[in-house]
Amino acid sequence: MKEFRDLLVERKEDANAFICGIPFDKNASVGKGASEAPRVLRELSYDLPALDMQGNLLTDVKLYDCGDFSGEDFSKTQKDLENFLNNDGFHIILGGDHSVAIPSERAFFENCKRKGTTPVIIHMDAHPDICDVYDGSKFSHACPIFRALEYGFEDGNVTLLGIRGFEAQEIETFKKHPQLDVYKTIDIKKLGVENLLKVLIAKYKDPKYEIYFSYDIDANDPAYAPGTGTPEAFGLTNFETVTILTGLIATLNVTCMDLVEIAPPLDVNNITSWLGLKTLYEVFHILIVNKKLK
Ligand SMILES: [Mn+2]
């Protein structure tokens, strides 16, 4: 048997979905271990049949694994990811700590610029990750959204979902960027996921918007996702996160997602890695039924 079993194709030309890993966690602030996630998710996939939670076969997904890219030099990582994003299909990037979104989102921005689409980030995370500098670094996992705005993403085209843990400097940054679209976890609990989806779909339904979905597993409550470096109480449920992610992919022009901050050494019986992997399989189903794959 092999990773991703019946979904994996040997030749890039045959693929309609592409996956890569960035096994890098040197920019994590508290708990480390996210560098092991790409390996562990691939290994667990040996044991996962190609079916979603409703029993739908997923073999219309033709997945090509582009392997791992180094996170040691972000300008090199960005170049690698620009090539990765040039593959024609849906793109999945496995982190790594959330700092890997810095080169990924920059590569995505360049890719959109070439195509003439308007780049959007939807960032689902317990934390806004909008520190300018954290722990003396501009490349901390607490910084990717600040770096994205600096790089050229427009405030109004960045949506943060599931936020509930802040640094004081981030509150100040929010005041300077009133156009940022922020839904705290408590906002989502009050609004309900279906209503949240309606609002986001109305905002981004024009196909000129090309969306990068950045999924930090700590958006989920630590009860569901304990294996992460910065667990944050009062989070979203598994059904809420998967409904948000798949609901947006079903209806919007989402061409790339990352899955970051799964830290296998901090996990319990691989609960968090399994959540990530099972979520990817739900994404596969939604790509198939909405004819998002060539
Ligand atoms: Mn994050």
In the chain, the number of structural domains is: 1
In a domain, 294, yes or no: no
Residue 294 pLDDT:
86
What's the CA-to-centroid distance between 1 and ligand 1, angstroms?
33
What's the CA-to-centroid distance between 62 and ligand 1, angstroms?
29
Residue 1 pLDDT:
65
In a domain, 26, yes or no: yes
For residue 138, give the amino acid letter.
Answer: K
Q: What is the pLDDT of residues 230-278, one digit of tens each?
A: 999 999 999 999 999 999 999 999 999 999 999 999 999 999 999 999 9
CATH number of the domain that residue 180 is part of: 3.40.800.10
Is-contact 151 75, C-beta < 8 A?
Answer: no
Please state, in angstroms and as integers, the Cα–Cα distance from residue 163 to each residue in 26, 54, 183, 280, following that order: 23, 30, 7, 22
In a domain, 184, yes or no: yes
What's the CA-to-centroid distance between 260 and ligand 1, angstroms?
7
What's the CA-to-centroid distance between 16 and ligand 1, angstroms?
28
Q: What percentage of the chain reaches a pLDDT higher than 90?
A: 98
Q: What is the pLDDT of residues 145-173, one digit of tens each?
A: 999 999 999 999 999 999 999 999 999 99
All residues with CB under 5 Å from ion ligand 1: 98, 125, 129, 216
Global pTM exceeds 0.85: yes
What's the CA-to-centroid distance between 2 and ligand 1, angstroms?
30
In a domain, 186, yes or no: yes
- The sign one gets for the Cα dihedral 269, 272, 273, 275 is positive
For residue 120, give the amino acid letter.
Answer: V
Domain range enclosing 121: 5-289
Q: What is the pLDDT of residues 128-138, one digit of tens each?
A: 999 999 999 99
